[in-house]
Structure 1
């Protein structure tokens, strides 16, 4: 059975608190694991959350500020210590290669795992174009080079038992019509309907920009920063961040099904304000105010999707 869920390792912004570790997130997707933005303490948070180094196939860094990347050294060393049996691929802003190199080789250790670097550059870039999913990156608006990531499952077909029965198609012939697209004058479209692939986006430190909207469009789950409340919108813009209301309006306009807000400034002690402001902005879908160590299932497909 496939598992698609988002594991939250840390939810703080620049300064961690007693209850919020620095950033760290893992998307589990049908046997693969994509880590996003390993900040300080990520290795320990993985242990607490039940995420092993063997679970990781990719590491995606949005930008090289410490709360999003200082844990990278420990994660890479743990991958090698545990002798992960598969290749691990790292995506990060190409302009920050020197930071990645410093973190990768911060101390001495024995390299036992192939770590492939695939830096991101330009306004938009296709990182993975495979049969299971595509992974894209989009440039965001932050004081340092920053990217968001978007995973999209290809569209498929959902077989309709009643139509198969109408046309007398059963047993091995079901697989045959799926492979060949037609059987005895019956097309695949006659006995199935479109099943839209699921979509996930991860958006960290940024002002509102075209990249934010492109990443969020039509997502089943959008994980997005909301560092500030709406009262501090001026500060958010100055420092290259979003408010809860801005993030929620993006999600509403993009048709997001499940919105996950995270990356909260330490100045706010009551997280319920982010939920209130997101709802006040008109977002009516499923809403999660992220907490450390929570697991959030990717929404199941709607019928006809």
Structure 2
């Protein structure tokens, strides 16, 4: 799983940072989370390609969704034919529909707008994309990419020692089915280890620190949390429904995540967010301040 930050600025772009967008690649699937203005140019700049079919919106503030207008038209000019699914908090579909239909051009592919509620999973092969409640006023989500448990490790050496011929019988055992070999029944538990945890990626969107984020991020492999302000602007963060870098780190620490990446920086920190990174690391050392173009691999945990 790879997470690429296409935009890391809050509210408006700066010379060095575009507004919010994150691209997630999981095996053969690619999905986008938020689409600030100019996102299609960021995709060209960082070589991500355009082979994806889902955009998940945390909420419909302008810096999180206006880029979909240009992105869809860029894809249309590239002769795209595959449908595109847009996922947004239920009740915000009309605004997103207006944006998609803005202008006179019609894109030559189907654009499907899907309103979802908190906890309403978007099921995919081997994983779910799950919206969860955050604290940003109105209709706002965070999103989590939650992999299903993986099959336990198959013990090929033991299977051979037990006289189980390699081939279809191995596949059945690996998927939990008992098989018969020379008149005896062999169960999966004899040659297959315990199920292995899948990965969990949590993207907070815009939010105050909140219990629902902590719960969704519990033991996550990676938490991407907004850090719009430094702690000396804590009052402003609370007033505007955002978090400080320290507050994001406190969420990560209490949730027991493996790694925290900060994003969504106020333009006042855009040139040098190391101050925010330092503030967060004082609470949670495994913290990185994102920058446009940063790609992070999310590996499986060691066994």
Whether these two folds match at TM > 0.5 is: yes
Instruction: Verify: 1:301 aligned to 2:297, yes or no.
Output: no
Match of 1:160 in 2: 155
Match of 2:166 in 1: 171
Report matched runs for 1:1-305 at 5 Å: 4-53=1-50, 55-121=51-117, 124-157=118-151, 158-172=153-167, 173-184=169-180, 185-193=185-193, 194-268=195-269, 269-281=271-283, 283-285=284-286, 287-298=287-298, 300-304=299-303
Per-residue displacement from partner, 1:187-224 (whole Å, max 9, x unpaired)? 22332222111111111111122321233122112111
SS of 2:32's equivalent in the other structure is: strand
Q: TM-score when scaled to structure 1?
A: 0.90
Q: Are the aligned partners of 1:126 and 1:134 in contact in 2 as well (CA < 8 Å)?
A: no
Number of residue pairs aligned between Structure 1 and Structure 2: 295
Q: Could you tell which deviates more after superposition, 75-84 or 260-269?
A: 75-84
Gaps in structure 2 of 5+ consecutive residues? none
Per the alignment, in what secondary structure is the counterpart of residue 253 of structure 1? helix
Gaps spanning 5+ residues in structure 1: where?
none
Shift of 1:112: 1.7
Post-superposition offset of 1:248: 1.4
- Find the aligned partners of 1:84 and 1:192 in 2 and give their Cα distance: 44
Change in 2 beyond 3 A, CA 1:108/1:253: same
Distance 2:236 2:73 in 1: 37
CA RMSD in angstroms comes to 1.8
1:196 aligned counterpart, secondary structure: coil
Task: Using structure 2 for the length normalisation, give the TM-score.
Answer: 0.91
Shift of 1:26: 0.7
Q: CA deviation at 1:76?
A: 1.8
Specify the structure having the higher radius of gyration (Cα): 2
Stretch deviating more after TM superposition (167-176 or 7-16): 167-176
The 8 Å contact of residues 59 and 140 in structure 2, kept in 1 or not, is answered as yes
